[in-house]
Amino acid sequence: MKKTIALLAVTLLAGCANGIPTPTFDSNVMTEGTRKTFVGIPMLASLDGSYAVLSKDWAVTAAHNAPILDIVFDEVHYHEYCDIALVKINDGFDVAIGRAKYGDTLYHVGYPVYMPLAKTKGTLIDDVVSSSRPNCVASYTDGTIMTGMSGGGVYNEAGELVGVNVGFSAKATAQDGSSTLMPTLFQSLNGVKGWIKQVTGIDV
């Protein structure tokens, strides 16, 4: 069984980031499959998040977006242990679902607070078990994320959806002993494929 490394903290705080993402104006499956969701008054008093289209009927997002999700969507399913949620949607868009391996280039897509859509690049480094979610295995890259991008999609170079942005940490140590400062964390779809199949009927 693959050994995982515990992180000291993986809490994504409001207004925090491990870098400033650059807005993207690309038109491709990564950007077209990403949606912004919020409640409140934009630019004044609002909660912001992102989600990624999984199929024309379902989307995936971060479970910690619950204060938004429970207001905006009629049907939301939260994973028991992991920071991921499924929401029922009515959307004409559809995406391909893929996999990623260590060393692959991945793209974190989402809507930073008060900013347009952003897409940042990172390398998939390793898996982790966070202290805040000890029963769930997540993964991390050396990419960049900002508040509001949580719940947006993580894609491989083929434009296939492989996971969901969940936050960042101060530091992570891989099995080879190398350390990454301020890694970006995501929940892979493959890691919760049984739950996704149970809720949606979709194989990932």
Q: 5-200: which CATH number, 2.30.30.30, 1.10.3470.10, 3.30.1490.20, 2.40.10.120?
A: 2.40.10.120
- pLDDT the model gives residue 71: 93
Distance (Å, whole) CA 16 – CA 14 = 6
> Percent of the chain beyond pLDDT 90?
65
Q: Is the pLDDT of residue 4 over 50?
A: no
Question: What pTM did the predictor assign?
Answer: 0.87
Q: What pLDDT was estimated at residue 114?
A: 81
Tokens at 152, concatenated: 């947006």
Pairwise CA distance, residues 181 & 170, whole Å: 6
pLDDT at 83: 96
The pLDDT tens digits of the residues spanning 62-114 come to 999 999 999 999 999 999 999 999 999 999 888 999 999 999 999 999 999 88
More confident residue, 197 or 48: 197
- pLDDT at position 141 is 96
Q: What is the pLDDT of residues 102-137, one digit of tens each?
A: 999 999 999 998 889 999 999 999 998 887 888 999
Higher pLDDT, 1 or 153: 153
Residue 27 has pLDDT above 90, yes or no: no
What is the predicted pLDDT for the residue at 14? Answer: 34
Res 176 pLDDT > 70: yes
What percent of the chain has pLDDT above 70? 89
**pLDDT higher than 70, residue 8:** no
pLDDT at 2 over 60: no
